[in-house]
Amino acid sequence: MNTCHLNTELSSLEGTRSEFNRSTAAIKLGIDVHQDFYVVVKQEGGTNPKPAQRFQKEAFLHWVAKLTKEGAEMHAVYEACGFAFGLQRQLTALGIHCYVVCPQKLDERNKRVKTDGVDAKALCLKLGRFVEGNREARALVRVPTQAEEQKRAIHRQREQLVKTRKRLEAQGRSLIVNHGIEPVNKWWKRRTFAALQVPAWMKELLSNTQPILLALEEKIRALTAQLQEAANLQATAWTRALEQCRD
């Protein structure tokens, strides 16, 4: 007599739980982020990932908000990129566990086929392994607070202004040296510039840059004061917290 063996193995532990408990399976979303749109792959429980979908930003948030109403636990992941952490905060506000991960090679099989959909699917599958307990499947990025992001933006702008000031200062110094005149340190400062011993035509050229350098210096000083104030406030907060712990 022939015996028929039925293999009902599911693709993940989570899928097994969903099958036998008849509970709503967790939903995982792998998101490939672009400036104007998202490419998303959805996986429910241990089933195969759905085909990739492309959403405009507002349409995606509307779609995912509807998914949250189904009552399933939801997880999402995308790679850290130049668009900050706004999406993570929006999804977290909807009750979704959203992870931001370090950019990495997603073509694990070296098929050399890279599309938005392939990337989103790879992210989704890695997220599935992470949710099931494999914490090495994802290299998480710490999501800063909005206050921390603001401080970073101020710091970056200050650095950019300092670089611009140095470049313009070097251009003026090069003009002076190239005509056999000894360079003057910080030639663009008001008193130094007024006493600068250079030909009239050269001073006229330098005067095109000097006001810009003065303005940059003023902006840099203001940003430095902002950062210092923020650092002082943070130090005060830490001191108070330590005192409360001692009490």
pLDDT tens digits, 160-206: 999 999 999 999 999 999 999 998 989 999 999 999 999 999 999 99
CB atoms within 10 A of CB 86: 11
Q: What pLDDT, on the 0 to 100 scale, is given for residue 198?
A: 94
Q: What's the distance, CA 161 to chain centroid?
A: 22
**Position 17 in a domain:** no
**Position 158 in a domain:** yes
Task: Please give the tally of structural domains in the chain.
Answer: 2
Q: Which residue has the higher pLDDT, 233 or 216?
A: 216
Question: Do 30 and 133 have their domain in common?
Answer: yes
Question: Do 160 and 85 have their domain in common?
Answer: no
Statement: residue 16 has pLDDT above 90: no
d(CA 117, CA 52): 5
Among 90, 106, 137, residue at a domain's last position: 137
Among 108, 137, 166, residue at a domain's last position: 137
Q: What pLDDT, on the 0 to 100 scale, is given for residue 52?
A: 95
Domain of residue 114: give its range. Answer: 25-137
Mean pLDDT of 3-30: 52
d(CA 107, CA 39): 17
